[in-house]
Amino acid sequence: MKCPYCDAENTRVVESRPGEDGSTIRRRRECVNEACGRRFTTYERVEQRPLMVVKKDQEREEFSREKLYRGLMRACEKRPISVERLESVCADIERALRMEYEREVPSSAIGERVMDELRELDGVAYVRFASVYREFRDVETLAKEVLSLLGEAGKAR
């Protein structure tokens, strides 16, 4: 594999280990160009057939793990949540979607699942995501959502 920094043709694998959920292999690679010598990470996973996301307007686009991850990251910005935790939440969501929907998944189902996960993970991240996703038009709707969230947190204690 090419080095992403200096474009050298050869890199060597320094370490290989299974990813958290066992469905990926994570490899640390090192550039063999001595002037560079930088390290980077690659992931190897089984090629899956595409899962199509059906949007509100019935347009379809291929499910993108990166897009899901970016959405989660945006919601969790400046929250005390590690990258590893976010990655595993992202993988959980994808796995659940692929199990439940074989070829096509409505975008609403993705949104709902993300909200379920965020609700458990972090209240602030949840409200952030929900306010964009559900397009809270006014402060009242938002406040209602926050109050119901606080109510649940109270019960959990």
Residues that bind Zn ion (CB under 5 A): 3, 5-6, 8, 31, 33, 36
The minimum distance between CB 11 and Zn ion, in angstroms, equals: 7
| Residue nearer to Zn ion on the CB measure, 18 or 37 | 37
The least distance separating Zn ion from the CB of residue 100, rounded to whole angstroms, comes to: 42
Query: What's the min distance (Å) between Cβ of 38 and Zn ion?
Result: 5
Q: What element of type H or E holds 18?
A: strand 11-18
Place of tokens 């080095």: 3
Q: Are 32 and 11 in contact (CB under 8 A)?
A: yes
- Nearer to Zn ion among residue 31 and residue 76 (C-beta): 31
In the 8-state DSSP scheme, what is residue 105?
A: E
CA 14 – CA 22 distance, rounded (Å): 19
The three-state secondary structure class of 61 is strand
Q: Which is nearer to Zn ion, 33 or 42 (CB)?
A: 33
